[in-house]
Amino acid sequence: MAKAKSQFVCANCGAVASRWQGRCDACGEWNTLQEEGPALPAATAAGRGVVVSLHALSGKTESPPRLESGIAELDRVTGGGFVPASALLVGGDPGIGKSTLLLQSAAALAACGRRVVYVSGEEAVDQVRLRAERLGVASAPVELAAETHVEDILATLKAGPRVDIVIVDSVQTMWTDLAESAPGTVTQVRLAAQNLIRFAKATGAVVILVGHVTKDGQIAGPRVVEHMVDAVLYFEGDAGHRFRLLRAVKNRFGPAAEIGVFEMTGDGLKEVANPSDLFIGEREAHNPGTAIFAGMEGTRPLLVEVQALVSASGLATPRRAVVGWDPSRLAMLLAVLEARCGLAFGPFDVYLNVAGGLRLAEPAADLAVAAALISSRLGVASPPETIYFGEVSLSGTIRAVPQAAARLKEAEKLGFRKAFLPAAGSDDAKTGLALDKIASLTDMVAAFAARAEAIAG
Ligand code: TYD
Ligand code: MG
């Protein structure tokens, strides 16, 4: 028999190649192909199936109660608690607070009488204990193990009474006898995850896998793990800022794009029930160059301060620096302001910052960014207690954005009195705010210019 050939698997996308290449054909990444053991010959897998029963789409289903952690921000993101017999992946940059979040959740669930096993592949039992002490949860009946061998973990879990929740921190440290390659390789991570997920489905336990994320935001190693689990949550935030966002990017049992907001403190993560306060709390009122954006994160309104600084440049190519927003979107807005509104930015450096370290992805932020830019450029502050939202098109018209009513409601709740919003699509909004509905960006430039004149005269 011919010697079985090894295969090469891309650590980024999981594509399989028959020989080594510098660049993955499937995803285009460089240096991501890793050698793995031979694939199973197709012949051994074929010809052994049994007949399975088929079912109708309708029928009685028993949905078991969800396991609520009692941490409201976490339960919101999972869609009302963990679903028994499901697997979750919690991803995030190293040091962002994944282990802290999960240890706190484990303690909360254990305190409710659930059997919770926390398996750490990265820290020793003593280190986890120290952390638990610091978090003030050391008395919770969580069962700890420092282990990386999947078969041993599963044997331990099966030996004891029924477990409700297993936390595996992290999946990248796990290894199984089923593969010959080293821990951390694609095959190891995939098979380890597969084994743990199978345990969840077979016993009704919730399996939570922790995964590290690469700098470009992918769960490091195989993205296949993302496909295998029922929900993928990202824990994100800026290391220099206190707040952390837990974001559902995939959820088979609840809404995706839902967020939970936490604050990292000296003794662990604290829930932030009113996140808008966090992002506009320290706003510098009446300074030119700031505007409050009424944004949405999932189903949740969130007010954020956008700051711009437009200053005369001595450089041949003026600087454009952006934190928390898409630089190409800034270039587009500047072009629209120049071409459609006659407001030149060519000889100026432009700096843009989203307060608090948040990243804005919504097109609805266009109008707030434009307001901050115009305000700084003309040296006139935005009207007090005013919020902005709306998408700017290349022609300079302001396009409607979803959920206008929810945005206005949040602003009203926080004491705002005026809103600049798209003329289109906001007819039915009932609110106590004074609405300035604008059809085109030139209207807003005119409004700021009129304010500048009123202040000067
Ligand atoms: P950790 O949960 O270990 O991150 P991850 O598991 O995602 O790698 O969090 C580590 C960081 O959190 C570390 O920089 C210290 C900080 N931290 C606090 O600020 N307060 C705390 O109570 C704890 C436990 C950690
Ligand atoms: Mg950790």
What is the tens place of the pLDDT at every residue in 185-218?
Answer: 788 888 999 999 999 999 999 999 999 886 666 6
- Placement of tokens 């694939």 in the chain: 39
How far is ligand 2, taken at its centre, from the CA of residue 330, in Å?
Answer: 35
- CB of 266 shorter than 6 A to ligand 1: yes
Distance CA 339, CA 394 (A): 9
Does the pLDDT value for residue 43 go beyond 70?
no
Q: For position 283, what pLDDT does the model report?
A: 65
Token reading at 356: 């608090």
Please state, rounded to an integer, the average pLDDT across all residues of the chain. Answer: 88
Nearest atom in ligand 1 to the alpha carbon of residue 169 is 6
Upstream peptide bond of 170 is cis (omega within 30 degrees of 0):
yes
Q: Beta partners for 167?
A: 118, 208
The residues, any chain, with a CB within 8 Å of residue 365's CB and separated by 6 or more, are 293, 295, 306, 325, 389
Q: Is the CB of 254 under 6 A from ligand 1?
A: no
Ion ligand 2 residues within 5 Å by Cβ: 99
Nearest CA to ligand 1 atom 18: 266
Residue extents of the structural domains in the chain: 1-37, 72-273, 277-456
Q: Does the Cβ of 268 fall within 6 Å of ligand 1?
A: yes
Task: Decide: 98 in ligand 1 pocket, CB within 6 A.
Answer: yes
Ligand nearest to the CA of 93: 1
72-273 maps to which CATH number? 3.40.50.300
Nearest-atom index, ligand 1, CA of 170: 6
Beta bridge partners of 391: 399
302-358: per-residue pLDDT in tens?
A: 999 999 999 999 898 999 999 999 999 999 999 999 999 999 999 999 999 998 888
Confidence of residue 184 (pLDDT cuts 50, 70, 90): confident
CB of 433 closer than 6 angstroms to any ligand 1 atom: no
| CATH no. of 277-456 | 3.30.230.10
Q: What is the largest CA-CA distance in the chain?
A: 94
Expressed in angstroms and rounded, the spacing between residue 236 Cα and the centre of ligand 2 is 13
Q: Is the Cβ atom of 104 under 6 angstroms away from ligand 1?
A: no
367 alpha carbon – ligand 1 mean position (Å):
36
CB 209 within 8 A of CB 153: no
pLDDT in tens, 148-158: 999 999 999 99
